Amino acid sequence: MRYYIADNHFFHTNMNTRMDKRGFKSMEEMNEFMLQQWNSRVRKKEEVIILGDLSIGNVEETNRLIDKLNGRLWLCIGNHDKAVLKREFNKDRFERIDYYMELNDNGRKVICCHYPVMCYNGQFRRDKNGNPKTYMLHGHIHKTPDVVGVEHYKEFVRGFPRISRSSDNPSPAPINMINCFCMYSNYIPLTLDEWIKIEESGISIKSVQNDWRHDG
């Protein structure tokens, strides 16, 4: 089984109290809950693709953390993954560490990057039934107003009819970008199909709208 998750930000106090307003009593409580949630789903031999910003802790803290996380870990490096650049970082714990990956998940291409890639490889590919064959999974934008900009862009792209290889009839251009932000899954790594369902639920745009109502 393969799972995906982004932007846990272990050890990041401000992410809990100010930025994401996660609501934990302390950074330590946040770390413990995220660790429990992760290991409640992932078994030791299952794969987890981390789409960046796993930990803002120092290299010693981060090494202790990854020793506790179940799974065969893959990391798309995010802007806060500073520990990865340290010589003491335990890279042996990872199957692969890179800034960008193209993977196969049950016959579908998956583009993996910490940052949303607007025009990604294989974007327009569909199967004979018209279903998308490529997904772009990312993190970085959490539940910020940037989510609104990305959603507007996706709607803009879908407004253009496109002829596919499997049909002569034009249909809306596909764009399948999914923000795998950990709060959307209650900090549990999810499969591609589970993230597709979350994306279809519109949870990302709803979360931003709810924050605006709360702040107002």
pLDDT digits 0-9 by tens, 139-165: 999 888 888 899 999 999 888 776 555
Return the DSSP state at 127.
-
Q: What integer pLDDT is reported at residue 159 of this predicted model?
A: 86
Per the CB < 8 A criterion, the answer to whether 121 and 132 are in contact is no
Instruction: Name the least confident of 27-31, 84-88, 115-119, 170-174.
Output: 170-174
Q: Comparing C-alpha atoms, which of 110, 60, 109 is closest to residue 88? A: 60
Confidence of residue 216 (pLDDT cuts 50, 70, 90): very low
Q: What is the mean pLDDT of the chain?
A: 91
Residue-wise pLDDT tens digits, 74-116? 999 999 999 999 999 999 999 999 999 999 999 999 999 999 9
Per-residue pLDDT at 173: 79
Q: Is the pLDDT of residue 211 over 70?
A: no
Kindly state the percentage of the chain with pLDDT values over 70: 92
pLDDT at site 131: 85
Mean pLDDT for 191-203 is 93
Q: Shortest CA distance to 162 belongs to which of 170, 153, 150?
A: 170
Q: Which CATH architecture has domain 2-210?
A: 4-Layer Sandwich (3.60)
pLDDT at 31: 98
130 C-beta neighbours (distance < 10 Å), count: 12
pLDDT at 128: 82
pTM, full prediction = 0.92
Write the DSSP symbol of residue 174: P
The confidence score (pLDDT) of residue 160 equals 79
- Please determine, for residue 172, whether its predicted confidence score (pLDDT) is greater than 60: yes
Q: Which of 65-74, 116-125, 141-150 has the lowest mean pLDDT?
A: 141-150
